[in-house]
Amino acid sequence: MTDLPGIAAKLADERAFRATYGLLAGRYFDGTLTGAELAGWHASQLTRVLRHVTAKSPFYREHLKGVDIEAVTPETLSRLPFTTKADLRREMYDVLSGSPADARIYYETTGTTGPSTPCPRGAKDIVASNSAVEESWRRLFAARFGDRMPVVGLMGPTELYAFGDVFTDVLDRLGGCHAKIWPESPRVGFRKALRLIKDLGVEVVVGAPALCLSLAKAARHYDYDLADLPISMFLVLGEICTPEFRANVSSIWPGATVYPTLYGSQETLCIATGAETGNLHLSELNYIAELVDPDTGEHLGRTGEGELVLTMLVEGIKPLIRYRTADLVRITDPGPGAPLPGPVVEVIGRVADRIALGTARLQPAELESAVLDGVRGCLGYQVVIDRDADGADEVTVRLDLLPELSGDPDEVRAGIAARLRERAGVAAGIAVESELDPVTSTGAFVSWKAARILDHRTEADDAVRVAREVAHRYAITT
């Protein structure tokens, strides 16, 4: 059979990219790619992608009208206009550099707080994005399991999300066995998920951080002894995951370690991948990352703290130029001897999740650290904010604690109250409860803030309303 000329040319182009990118990635990960060569890749791919989007994307043809594409360099990139979530929701398919039919697979955003936007991925997108995950997992598994591969349980959000396909592809390349155990699915549920974990000997569970706690609650509900379940590693993604949260999870699951494994989104693919240090490293071959002031948009450089802005360097179906992620991050140099190359990316939280509290404006990660620092055996928490008779902020922290792990509850209460008083100047009451608001189990499905903060000072926004509507899907009772 003779291939159609157009398809043959497309496949040849994809094969050429796969070969070129594979050689480049191999040298990048083994440390032989020089800084000058990486800078050259960034410069040449930036020009290639700008040509690509202005030729094929109706949105970018207009958005970058009047820009001398050939004159743009990584150093002058910050002069270009931003791309925003509002642009993606308004322009929809016009943002694409091609038709969805040109892609290998079609995805959409979940649409929890706005219209679902198209996020198809082509062959080049998949190769480039998944290669960083593959290398991350190869090193993590080798450090933990030596020369054998563990059975992996994938616990993803929805069928139109890339989660299942990405990790299936990666495990296929690594030669590992996986099972798609999605406890929020009505055809699976927590009871069957736990049975499969035990029967299959699942040692690695991949999902959102909140799932680590929900799974422990479900195990207690269905009379499983956590020590009898084979899980030794949680690979988490999708929301902030502070060291304090990770230490708490490890206190609940005997012998299990929690690692942030992937930071990304449907729109931007795999931005950063995890190492055994617990750090996330930028997928540096695929992006030029900038930091901007989240309130003014002022360019802050490539390292430090601010809102993450990304320019994608692969000429795929939906490359984005100077895309404002609405995520607050801290980017630092990895330092000598880091287990993965690329700058370290610490996810602090969503821009919209910043919280004015008492005398401070706290990032989500700061508030979670204040609540969970030193706390063990916590199956969940919620921070309730009210105003007292004088109009000052007052806080109640609700905790679901396992008494056999958490220690003296009075000491736990005193510690949390002292940290909140020190960091925000607020008085805090601590309530230990056997059942929390079901919304705390929604985790990253909507937003960290909607799941963890009940703010009576303001009207509920769209994220809070959506989280409450779907809370019953995620709730598990102990």
Cα 277 to Cα 221, 252, 254, 375, 400: the distances in Å are 33, 20, 19, 21, 29
- Overall pTM surpassing 0.85 (yes/no): yes
Q: How far apart are CA 316 and CA 331, in angstroms?
A: 26
What dihedral do alpha carbons 193, 196, 198, 199 form, nearest 10°?
170
Residue 478 tokens read as 């102990």
* Mean pLDDT, rounded, of the chain: 90
Domains of the chain, each with CATH number or no CATH: 1-350 (3.40.50.12780), 355-474 (3.30.300.30)
Q: How do beta strands 178-180 and 151-154 pair? A: parallel
CB neighbours (10 Å) of residue 345? Answer: 22
| Residue among 83, 154, 166 nearest 117 (CA) | 83
Contacts of 5 (CB under 8 A, 6+ apart): none
Residue 396 tokens read as 């109640």
DSSP state of 162: S
Note the pLDDT tens digit of each residue in 6-61: 788 888 888 999 999 999 999 999 999 999 999 999 999 999 999 999 999 999 99
Note the pLDDT tens digit of each residue in 129-168: 999 999 999 999 999 999 999 999 998 765 557 888 999 9
Residue 186 tokens read as 């009505």
Q: How far apart are CA 253 and CA 197, in angstroms?
A: 14
Q: How far apart are CA 142 and CA 221, in angstroms?
A: 34
DSSP state of 329: E
CB-CB contact of 184 with 158 (8 Å) = no
